[in-house]
Chains A and B, each alone.
Chain A
């Protein structure tokens, strides 16, 4: 990775953190648990990286590690979104 690309990615990181602060600070405290499980699901985005590692077939160890990563990240994505939905479904108005 060249320094140019690195700086570019860092740029994206910094702006995303600010965006995150803006968005999350508006979430009311009654929704903090679904926020956590929902953001867990989002952090399952590592799945995208895991898929490439598991499918690239560079060598056995990489494929094994990648496949394991796919399993864990998928649990995060699927479990996270479903359980968040299950919780949010319960919040009703009078």
Chain B
């Protein structure tokens, strides 16, 4: 029996469920249900596909079994702080899957029309770049590779040469696919190489942009695979993901006041080092006891988390301190910069994990107007995103980047391990402000100290 029509109707339903699921992600209340609806769509699409005529199930079952086990374990065991790594890997797996589908279709040798071969080429190219690019991003995020940007002479020329070589091989391959299998294999190898060489120069703090971009590539790769097998649902789903990645990329770039080209090609962290300004005034350290006295008297406290919070795993003690402050009659809020952490929304997930209610989490634009009325702003492991130099110092490399205006608070506590500069190597003038007090040491220990002070009193 031929189920083609039924399969296609189910695909339409799946597309509707994907769209609905994404729509429900517009509010935290409905988001979880939206994710479930999207998963149901996926389940239906898979089941319908299994009705395709003449499929043999042994390899399918094996593949799904292995993939499910790995997926379940990964999803259960991953720490919330390691979410950027997980997303980077998932991006890469999406890419390699599309590459493999394109490759398998070519080997099946059933269809040799020109347009199909072109789409095979595209799905291999995008899939390959996404795969190795994501693996490099994963390596940088998890510390397997050095996370700083790695620039070398002739990098742009190398990447351009790679791209041109791939296109040349592509033309050779497309002109006569059956006779030019070597050209195809070369395309696979060069795409892998291009993925590596284009992500290697990008430093750790620029990872939010790279992950977003790779996210969008993984969607485009699915789209390309959809053209290869002439399947609507792949195109619709791939386009939704591609659009999502592009939107996130744009938001991240805007939050850093940089163009996408600047992020991809300039190797931010390495270029900046020479632009070190002079220190202005003295820094004023404070100890935990004195900090406690100030917090104890505060009526309004805002926490500004950054990547350092994730590194120190301090989200739970921060929540505890927040709770104690609230019991003390203080208003507690969290100000989150769009590029804080290593991926979009990273800080929100960490704080949600520590049971911070999401109505206490504020976006930069919503909290900035309130800072004049804030008694104490506690900056935890954030640096460049609170640097006032971005607002007025035209010589600063981050000039023009929107910041969280922590400096407007009556008192600013900066929790920091040492006076070393932030990722970008830019001195932070906030540390020298009259109202700033430095709390040196491990963020988790410092906050635990404050919690202990509160509990003793």
Contact = CB atoms under 8 A, between A and B. Distances in A.
Contact of B108 (A26, A32, A62, A75): A62
Contacts of A78: 67-68, 71-72, 75
Contact of A24 (B111, B221, B223, B247): B247
Interface residues of B, number: 116
Nearest to A52: B52
A51 B60 contact: yes
Which of B75, B83, B231, B248 is packed against the most chain A CB atoms within 10 Å? B75
A67 B60 CA distance: 6
Nearest to A85: B35
Interface stretch (B20-28, B145-153, B260-268): B20-28
B201 interface: no
A81 B45 CA distance: 15
Nearest to A3: B115
B259 to A, nearest CB: 20
B69 to A, nearest CB: 9
Contacts of A45: 42, 45, 222, 233-234, 237-238
Interface string A1-28: 1110110010011001101110111111
Contacts of A54: 59-60, 63, 104
Contacts of A70: 59-60, 63-64, 67
A80 B90 contact: yes
A3 B118 CA distance: 12
B101 A46 contact: yes
Contacts of B72: 78-79, 82
Interface string B411-428: 000000000000000000
Interface string A62-94: 110111111111111111111111111111111
B235 A16 contact: yes
Interface in B42-75: 42, 45-46, 49-50, 52, 54-57, 59-60, 62-64, 66-68, 70-72, 74-75
A43 B134 CA distance: 15
DSSP majority for the A interface?
Answer: helix
Interface residues of A, number: 83
B244 interface: yes
B89 to A, nearest CB: 9
A12 B8 CA distance: 14
B248 A35 contact: yes
Given A51-B60, A82-B75, A43 B219 contact: yes
A29 B74 contact: no
Interface in B1-42: 18-19, 21-23, 25-29, 31-32, 35-36, 38-39, 42
B118 to A, nearest CB: 9
Contacts of A58: 107-110
Nearest to A30: B348
A79 B234 contact: no
B32 A69 contact: no
Contacts of A67: 59-60, 62-63
B135 interface: no
B32 A29 contact: no
Contacts of B64: 70, 74
Interface string B92-111: 01101110110111011111
A81 B101 contact: no
A33 B100 contact: no
20 contacts: A13-B239, A16-B236, A32-B248, A32-B343, A33-B344, A36-B215, A36-B248, A36-B345, A40-B218, A46-B234, A54-B60, A62-B107, A63-B104, A65-B103, A69-B104, A71-B63, A71-B70, A73-B67, A74-B67, A88-B31
Given A34-B31, A42-B219, A93-B359, 7 more contacts: A20-B22, A33-B344, A56-B54, A58-B108, A58-B109, A74-B66, A79-B72
